[in-house]
Structure 1
Amino acid sequence: MPPSESTSAAYGRDQRAASARNPDLALLIGRVLVVAIFPITGYLKLAGWGGTVAMMERYGLPLPALAAALVIAIELVLPVLVILGLWARQALVGLILFVAAATLIAHRFWEFEGAQWFPQLASFWKNLAMIGGMIVLAAIGPGRYALRR
């Protein structure tokens, strides 16, 4: 075998072995990416408070101002806990329940027609994919790069 192939093969083996022994960086990146949307949407809901309360009213939620405050708190606090690895599993379970409820309330694609149907369908399945990622992370745990294991 030529030296370049041997070196390349050995490098690939070493990289695979290293990643198999230490998935903690992947868990950190996964934690950040799976919850990154929440602080953004939480901030936007807070900045557009009146619209957020009106949205809660349109969805038929009781006490829409309280519902809006609770949603914003969830979207701002729980992702930070996940990213930092503080009570990450508990925070992920909270986010799983939140996303499941939000999906059933806000992305009822079967009630839409025409141009509104596909965006609702896509949001519904995107949320299910996020729930799947959060379930995996909750099952595995935050990894070594966490403030609390």
Structure 2
Amino acid sequence: MTETLGGLGGGRARDSAPQPIAAILDWPALGLLARLALAAPYAVSGFVKLLDFNGAAAEAAGLGLGSPALVAAAVIATQLGGSALFLTRRWCWLGAGLLAGFTVVATLIAHAFWTYDGIDRARQTATFLEHLAIVGGFAAAAALVHRPGRR
């Protein structure tokens, strides 16, 4: 059996994982739990911002963004709406796209590692790359949900 790049491109090499691991990977709820794990920080952040809208607007202003109340409202809508869509099968792709796009924009604004020096640059670079990995997780989750027979 041929393995595909990252296991996402079509065929699946069932014999490549030990049986206990294969059983976990075949568990029907695994996909939903993985999506819950990816969406949780966004949903919690959206609820916290909703409960403290003035703080959310102040955070946007602190990043130098114009129209902080409008930015805060857009962030809340993206985080909560994107999370809800991401947890569904039908609209997972849209939620993944919203949250991934939000993550890219927020990371470019808040973790511009190229503007730092020394240890701060290393820390910001690590955070930037961690956020890039989250974007990859959204893409992988949406791809897996899109495959027939997956949750």
Shared fold by TM > 0.5?
yes
Match of 1:42 in 2: 46
Task: Report the residue type matching 1:44 in the other structure.
Answer: V
**2:109 pairs with one of 100, 105, 110:** 105
The answer to whether the 8 A contact 1:41-1:75 is kept is: yes
Identity rate, percent: 32
Structure 2, unmatched stretches of 5+, are 1-16
Match of 2:66 in 1: 62
The answer to whether the 8 A contact 1:27-1:142 is kept is: no
Deviations along 1:54-78, one digit per CA (max 9) or x if unpaired, are: 2212323232111100101111121
Hey, what's the Cα distance between the residues in 1 that align with 2:96 and 2:22?
29
Hey, what's the Cα distance between the residues in 2 that align with 1:117 and 1:42?
28
The answer to whether the 8 A contact 1:42-1:71 is kept is: yes
Deviations along 1:27-52, one digit per CA (max 9) or x if unpaired, are: 11211111111111112222332222
Task: Report the residue type matching 2:129 in the other structure.
Answer: W
SS of the equivalent of 1:36 reads helix
Number of residue pairs the alignment of both structures matches: 134
The answer to whether the 8 A contact 1:25-1:145 is kept is: no
Hey, what's the Cα distance between the residues in 2 that align with 1:13 and 1:55?
47
Q: Give the TM-score of the pair, scaled to structure 2.
A: 0.72
| Relative contact order higher in (CA < 8 Å, ≥ 6 apart) | 1
Structure 1, unmatched stretches of 5+, are 1-11
Hey, what's the Cα distance between the residues in 2 that align with 1:14 and 1:127?
32
Hey, what's the Cα distance between the residues in 2 that align with 1:104 and 1:60?
13
The answer to whether the 8 A contact 1:28-1:145 is kept is: no
Higher helix share: 1
Match of 1:127 in 2: 131
Q: Which has the larger radius of gyration?
A: 1
Call closer, same or farther: CA 1:95–1:118 in 2, change over 3 Å: same
Q: Which moved more, 1:25-34 or 1:105-114?
A: 105-114
Shift of 1:108: 1.3
Call closer, same or farther: CA 1:61–1:26 in 2, change over 3 Å: same
